Amino acid sequence: MTAKEPVTVIELTDHDAGDVLALELWDAAGAAPVAQALGFALPPVGASAGDDRCRAMRFEPNVWLVEGSGVDRAALAGAVGAHGAVTPIGGGLVRVILRGAGWRTLLMHDGVFDAENPAFAPGCTAATVIAHVAVRLNVVSEKRCDALVPASLAEGLIGRWRQVAAGL
Amino acid sequence: MSGETARFTFDGKSYTAQAGQTLAAALLANGVAVVARSFKYHRPRGIMAAGVEEPSALVTVGEGGRAEPNTRATDVFVYDGLVARSQNAWPSLAFDVGAVNGLAARLIPAGFYYKTFFGPPRRWMVYERFIRKAAGLGPAPQEADPDAFDHRAAFCDVLVVGAGPAGLAAALAATQAGQRVVLVEQDSLPGGALLREDARIDGQDGADWAQGTVAAIRAGGGRVLLRATATGYWDGNLVSVVERLAEPGQVPAPGTPVQRLWKVRCGKVLLATGAIERPLAFGGNDRPGVMLAQAVRHYVRRHGVVPGRRAVVATSNDDGYRTAFALADAGAQVLAVLDSRTVLAGPLVERARARFAVLADARPIDTRVAGRRLSRVIAQVGGAETTFAADLLAMSGGFTPVVHLHKQAGGDLAWDAAAQAFLPGTARQAQASIGAAAGGHALDAILAQGWAAGGGGARAFAVDDPLGLGTPAMAAAIPQAVRGKAFVDFQNDVSLGDVDLAWREGYRSVEHLKRYTTLGMGTDQGKTGNMAALARLAQAQGVEIPQAGLTTFRPPYTPTTLGAFAGAAVGDHAGPVRRLRLHAAHEALGAVWQPVGYWFRPRGYPRNGESLGAASLREARMVRESVGMVDVSTLATFEIAGPDAAALLEMACATTIGRLALGRGRYTVMLREDGMVMDDGTAWRLEEQRYLLTSSTGGADRMAQHLSWLRNVVAPDLKASVVNVQEHLGAVALAGPRAAAVLAELIGAAVPAHMRCARAMLAGIEVLVLAASYSGERAFEIYAPGHDMAVVWQALHEAVVAAGGGAYGLDAMDHLRVEKGHVVIGAEVDGRVTPADIGLGGMLRKQGGFVGWQGLQRPALADPAGRRHLVGVAAVDGQALPEGAMLVAREGDVPLGHVTTASPRVAPDPEGLTGGIGLALLTDGASRQGEELLAWSATRGQTVRVRVCEPVFYDREGARYRD
């Protein structure tokens, strides 16, 4: 019988994610005004920028997710102008905040993504599938990872995460 | 070993085991010789091996839902309270009636059932029952497994399979080189061969060195999994590993799964899987007391169990001598070492000669038992027969490197003529075999090889082996003639005679031999037996073994419980479940749930003992007469924005979208490239450069892929954003003659006209109102972000109830749409219909420019003759229609079509018909209006006379939903 892996502590909380917007730019010229509106440059693929008040995360080539209570939607839409489009999507998401050193281990269960890789460090994002559910991950710190989960599948996945977390 | 003990039972009798002992070791220690009956002849069988290759000692371990049949006694570690039972024996292991099969062995040789059980296939249903009773394995438990199984991913630079000396050296080197390392070992202890040998490494006892190495690997960040078997090697250097967190039948720790399936993605895989010893082929080689020589050594050295007091060692190689020394050192009497080689030389042999009788050109040819346990070994020494009064025969017929994973990875095999064994050849993935798995022999060389494979620099391991290095192992020759039954596949009772019989009867291919004799088809997959049978086949063919062929190595390497594959996905709905945002609200109304793909949706809301059918009819009539509301949040919805949004929609949709005025919507269809209808829905112009496209629930993912393909592949330069808002938007459809009044009151404004849309405030929530009807009544779809839907639903529900209505479910929705002739994706639209087939041909853009237009130009699709058309069908004799029934002129005729959806009538028929109605796809249906046919369901034994009609049964003019 193997010894259990080192005991890890994890706290899991779920939150409304109604603030999340999908920002698509089909024109690179839109990056500068958007950066001005957000207060920081849009991050490259697989990375995030900003903080809890206003954050942008890039999961796809031309699409960023923008979140945070500090996002001025009108200003953002104005900055995007004809360079792209902004569409609210947060009604369909649940934000799960994983706190504690055990979040990496937790995400390896029922998953296919290398969350244990040290290169998946704060500021990194990833879109993956966990327990058949499409999940977007954002590493906020070494002890915190946020996950955006489709609302319809959140109950099952969060329940499974709680079950796994209890055994870590 | 510590002094701890564990109590266990076998066939109801209590025994004690030392901590760390396998069940096999504990049974041997307690003098239990017979632990199983063989598969076919019910011959008494003991323990032959010490690892997962054990073919005979299969037992059932555990009780109730935890019972695990066909567990190898060599692969379960005793825990306190373990309950084990023998299997395939009645009424008892000691007296098994099935042993009569052995007496009738001449009548039931290999392949006898192919010759015996002739006749129609249905008779097999009878035969099979008897065959299964007569021969078989342990019964599967009837109760559900109470334990949890887990799935976990892991990524590493180096995966090492096997924690023997080679694997440990490799894993340590890789860890010290800074690699991410995973080391897996199926045993509960690391060490592999070191656990049965007397060798010392770097001044340490071998077992201690192994423990220390594991500690060093873990300290260096490596992951070491014990009781973890690499069961499969897949493409992309993916290896599946099943880890046991509890022993078979054992209650796991609270909150702990019983097994974990690891999916390990590896940069490189090092296979240190060792080698399996081969038995010798001679008459009575399956008697309890005849064991593999390394297994005997294993029990003596690791478990402190001496399986016999008077032993004969029969070997074809030097390694067998080590067992003689181990037995003698443990106090057993070694009567003789029978060596099949004619010339014996070397230090190991000389040492042995000083202690035992060592006989050259000697081999066992038969055995005798006393009370089912070995009592005599009859040997041929030179040309003479000699009998030994032995209770243990330790045999070694050479070694078979474990190349299973190498082969599963696509690797080739190379033939080692001296060892008469297949070795790993060219690897097709990033993997290499090391140690005994690669034919390694000398411990120091194996350690050095492992170290180098793990990326270590030059280093020598100090190996101290008191017996010294023997010569490389040679395989025993397969004798031409044997006395009695000389088994090669012990689990399936396949003997050399069976192989010979198959050859005489014309089975030349190894694949045919396998299936005719069942060779290698047991739970052990022929780990100990296949090579001997291949050698026999090669003898018969007059070729070398590689030319005789080889069967396929398939995962899993060892039997794996289905629970490990299922993981957490068990229960009524063994997969993800999608819950509506309004799930609780529906639950409060007493919803009966319907799985729709992954979604759970309300099928209806029965009241006061009402049947579901009655409830759905009541709900549908409520909509016709007053007002109803239904949750349609699962509809696929996409927001398409940007200057080229209309252009993108014109590609996706076969109807005109580009000229849609602001605030207007239109019904539309989307086609596949071949011109067949893929989906339908509505398109709405919400803003100057922003549209909402809806489509079916069932086709949502397909439509998302389709739009993504159009946007990113077909037209990547379009300035258009496509966002899937199916999850973001919840929606409620409000329908019925009072719907407009209810909604107007709630939003405090005029409602939009039919096929128009507007933003409004409802209960403080901004909503989007689309005026569209699926029911045939004046209707609206009210959209809001998912997290606001509860408020919207509650306000609507209160108002609807006050207006005399209520909620309705999927069944009522279906009844309503059938009356209106609206198609549904998956029923009327089955992937084989064009827009014209379902009456939508007139809607298409004549100039084309949409996906599927070219496909529609093909003559077979452009000409409506001979195609199946959407029609209505009405039962003329007052019966319900069987959904799915064939439409025929007479029972038994070739079907002309089929009923795609059946429904009761919600609204009365103007002609007074009271039977069911339905939609159907009917060949040349457009020209068959008024014909009478039969809806014939052979599977249900139902036949209903129907009249073909227009596929609209209610308000053909559409007066009900227009303003």
Looking at residue A115, which CATH number applies to its domain?
Answer: 3.30.1360.120
- Quote the Cα angle for B220-B226-B227, to 5°: 165
- Give the whole-angstrom CA distance, residue A48 versus residue B197: 56
Name every residue whose Cβ is closer than 8 Å to that of residue B160 and which is 6 or more positions away in sequence.
B167, B170, B171, B174, B181, B182, B183, B184, B269, B270, B272, B454
> Does the beta-carbon distance from A1 to B227 stay under 8 Å?
yes
B946-956: per-residue pLDDT in tens? 999 999 999 99
pLDDT value at position B119?
A: 73
Residue-wise burial string across A19-51, b where 16 or more C-beta atoms lie within 10 A, e elsewhere: bbbbbbbbeeebbebbeebbeeebbeeebbbbe
Give the nearest chain A residue to B253 (CA atoms). Answer: A167
Distance from CA of A70 to the nearest CA of B (A): 19
pLDDT, mean of residues B678-695: 98
> Does the beta-carbon distance from B786 to A151 stay under 8 Å?
yes
- Give the whole-angstrom CA distance, residue B914 versus residue B906: 10
| Contacts B599 to A, Cβ<8 Å | 152
Dihedral sign for Cα B385, B390, B391, B396, please.
Answer: negative
The percent of chain B in helix, strand and coil, each rounded to the nearest 5, is 25, 30, 45
* Residue B436: both structure tokens together: 């005994």
B50 within 8 A of B125, measured Cβ to Cβ: no
- Collapsed DSSP state (helix, strand, coil) of residue B105: helix
Of A36, A64, A91, the one marking the end of a domain is A91
Name every residue whose Cβ is closer than 8 Å to that of residue B196 and which is 6 or more positions away in sequence.
B50, B294, B297, B298, B300, B301, B302, B326
Determine the structural domain holding residue A52 and report its residue range: 18-91
Q: Is A6 a member of any domain?
A: no
Amino acid at B290: V
B226 within 8 A of B213, measured Cβ to Cβ: no
Residue B725 has pLDDT above 60, yes or no: yes
- What number does CATH give the domain B864-963? 2.40.30.110
Question: Contacts by B300-303 with C-beta closer than 8 Å and gap 24+?
Answer: B300/B196, B300/B326, B300/B327, B300/B329, B300/B330, B301/B195, B301/B196, B301/B197, B301/B198, B301/B326, B302/B25, B302/B195, B302/B196, B302/B207, B303/B1, B303/B18, B303/B20, B303/B21, B303/B22, B303/B25, B303/B28, B303/B29
B623 within 8 A of B816, measured Cβ to Cβ: yes
Residue A2 has pLDDT above 70, yes or no: no
Residue B449 has pLDDT above 60, yes or no: yes
Distance from CA of B440 to the nearest CA of A (A): 28
B75 within 8 A of B84, measured Cβ to Cβ: no
Furthest C-alpha separation in chain B? 112
pLDDT value at position B315?
A: 97
Distance from CA of A50 to the nearest CA of B (A): 23
- Give the whole-angstrom CA distance, residue B690 versus residue B694: 13
Give B827's DSSP letter: T
Q: Which of B182, B727, B729 has the highest number of chain A CBs within 10 A, making it the mutation to test binding with A?
A: B727
Confidence of residue B641 (pLDDT cuts 50, 70, 90): very high
Confidence of residue B573 (pLDDT cuts 50, 70, 90): low
B714 at A interface, C-beta within 8 A = no
pLDDT value at position A5?
A: 46
B189 within 8 A of B50, measured Cβ to Cβ: no
For the segment(s) B280-397, the CATH number from 3.40.50.720, 3.50.50.60, 3.40.50.2300, 3.40.5.90 is: 3.50.50.60
| A25 and A57 housed in the same domain | yes
> Does the beta-carbon distance from A111 to B153 stay under 8 Å?
yes
Distance from CA of B788 to the nearest CA of A (A): 8
B723 at A interface, C-beta within 8 A = yes
Number of H-type helices and E-type strands within chain B:
25, 50
Q: Among residues 627-646 of chain B, which lie with CB inside 8 Å of chain A?
A: 639, 641-643
| A103 and A141 housed in the same domain | yes
pLDDT value at position A43?
A: 98
Task: Please state, in angstroms and as integers, the Cα–Cα distance from residue B865 to each residue in B79, B249, B518, B677, following that order.
Answer: 74, 65, 56, 18
Fold of B636-724: Alpha-Beta Plaits (3.30.70)
Chain centre to alpha carbon of residue A104: 14
* String of DSSP letters for B579-595: PPTTHHHHHHTTPEEEE
Q: Is A110 a member of any domain?
A: yes
| A35 and A54 housed in the same domain | yes
- Give the whole-angstrom CA distance, residue B215 versus residue B200: 18
Give the nearest chain B residue to A134 (CA atoms). Answer: B576
- Give the whole-angstrom CA distance, residue B679 versus residue B833: 11
Select the more confidently predicted residue: B101 or B461. Answer: B461
Task: Please state, in angstroms and as integers, the Cα–Cα distance from residue B557 to each residue in B186, B524, B525, following that order.
Answer: 11, 9, 8
Of A59, A91, A123, the one marking the end of a domain is A91
Of A69, A91, A113, the one marking the end of a domain is A91
Cis geometry, peptide bond prior to residue A150 (ω within 30 degrees of 0): no
Class of domain B5-103: alpha beta
B287 within 8 A of B369, measured Cβ to Cβ: yes
> Does the beta-carbon distance from A117 to B155 stay under 8 Å?
yes
* Residue B859: both structure tokens together: 């003559």
pLDDT value at position B103?
A: 84
Amino acid at B406: H
The domain locations on chain B are 5-103, 280-397, 477-561, 583-634+728-816, 636-724, 864-963
| A22 and A83 housed in the same domain | yes
> Does the beta-carbon distance from B727 to A27 stay under 8 Å?
no
- Quote the Cα angle for B836-B839-B843, to 5°: 75
Q: Is A2 a member of any domain?
A: no
| A110 and A152 housed in the same domain | yes
- Quote the Cα angle for B19-B25-B30, to 5°: 95
Q: Is A149 a member of any domain?
A: yes
B809 within 8 A of B619, measured Cβ to Cβ: yes
- Give the whole-angstrom CA distance, residue B311 versus residue B108: 34
SS (H, E, C) B125-184: HHHHHHHHHHCCCCCCCCCCCCCCEEEEEEEEEEEEECCCHHHHHHHHHHHHCCCCEEEE
Residue B388 has pLDDT above 90, yes or no: yes
> Does the beta-carbon distance from B784 to A18 stay under 8 Å?
no
Task: Please state, in angstroms and as integers, the Cα–Cα distance from residue B178 to each residue in A46, A118, B130, B161, B220, following that order.
Answer: 25, 13, 60, 19, 8
| A48 and A96 housed in the same domain | no
Residue B537 has pLDDT above 80, yes or no: yes
Q: Is B712 exposed, middle or buried (0-12, 13-18, 19+ CB in 10 A)?
A: middle
* Residue whose tokens read 């309503």: B816
B727 at A interface, C-beta within 8 A = yes
- Whether the predicted interface score ipTM is above 0.85: yes
- Give the whole-angstrom CA distance, residue B711 versus residue B709: 6
- Quote the Cα angle for B661-B664-B668, to 5°: 105
Torsion angle defined by CA atoms of residues B204, B209, B212 and B217, in that order, rounded to the nearest 10 degrees: 140
| Contacts A155 to B, Cβ<8 Å | 577, 579
B306-344: per-residue pLDDT in tens? 999 999 999 999 999 999 999 999 999 999 999 999 999
Torsion angle defined by CA atoms of residues B919, B921, B923 and B929, in that order, rounded to the nearest 10 degrees: 10
Q: Is A4 a member of any domain?
A: no
Domain with residues B583-634+728-816, CATH architecture:
2-Layer Sandwich (3.30)
| A76 and A128 housed in the same domain | no
Name every residue whose Cβ is closer than 8 Å to that of residue B885 and which is 6 or more positions away in sequence.
B898, B899, B902, B935, B936, B937, B940, B942, B944
| A136 and A110 housed in the same domain | yes
B626 within 8 A of B737, measured Cβ to Cβ: yes
* Residue B250: both structure tokens together: 């054992």
pLDDT, mean of residues B764-784: 97
B460-508: per-residue pLDDT in tens? 899 999 988 788 778 888 998 899 999 999 999 999 999 999 999 999 9
SS (H, E, C) B711-742: HHHHCCCCCCEEEECCCCEEEEEEECCCHHHH
* Residue B558: both structure tokens together: 């060892």
Confidence of residue A7 (pLDDT cuts 50, 70, 90): very low
For the entire predicted model, the pTM comes to 0.92
| A96 and A163 housed in the same domain | yes
Confidence of residue B135 (pLDDT cuts 50, 70, 90): low
Q: Is A130 a member of any domain?
A: yes
| A68 and A107 housed in the same domain | no
Determine what percent of chain B is predicted with pLDDT higher than 90. 88
B892-917: per-residue pLDDT in tens? 899 999 999 999 999 998 888 899 99
The total number of structural domains in chain A stands at 2
> Does the beta-carbon distance from B728 to A88 stay under 8 Å?
yes
Torsion angle defined by CA atoms of residues B605, B611, B617 and B621, in that order, rounded to the nearest 10 degrees: -60
For the segment(s) B477-561, the CATH number from 3.40.50.11540, 2.60.40.60, 1.10.10.1100, 3.30.365.10 is: 1.10.10.1100
B341 within 8 A of B360, measured Cβ to Cβ: yes
Residue B1 has pLDDT above 60, yes or no: no
- Collapsed DSSP state (helix, strand, coil) of residue B26: helix
The residues of A whose Cβ lies within 8 A of any Cβ of B are: 1-2, 16, 18, 22, 24, 26-27, 82, 84-85, 87-93, 108-114, 116-117, 131-133, 150-153, 155-157, 160, 163-164, 166-167
Q: Is A53 a member of any domain?
A: yes
Q: Is A3 a member of any domain?
A: no
Give B124's DSSP letter: H
Question: Contacts by B708-715 with C-beta closer than 8 Å and gap 24+?
Answer: B710/B648, B710/B651, B710/B652, B710/B851, B711/B648, B714/B651, B715/B644, B715/B647, B715/B648, B715/B651
Q: Which of B876, B742, B904, B746 has the alpha carbon at shortest distance from B811?
A: B904
- Give the whole-angstrom CA distance, residue B860 versus residue B148: 54
Name every residue whose Cβ is closer than 8 Å to that of residue A78 and which is 6 or more positions away in sequence.
A37
Q: Per DSSP, what are the bridge partners of residue B734?
A: B629, B780
B346 within 8 A of B339, measured Cβ to Cβ: no
> Does the beta-carbon distance from B728 to A157 stay under 8 Å?
no
Confidence of residue B2 (pLDDT cuts 50, 70, 90): low
Give B56's DSSP letter: S
* Euclidean distance between the first and the last CA atom of chain B, given in angstroms as a whole number: 89
> Does the beta-carbon distance from A26 to B725 stay under 8 Å?
no
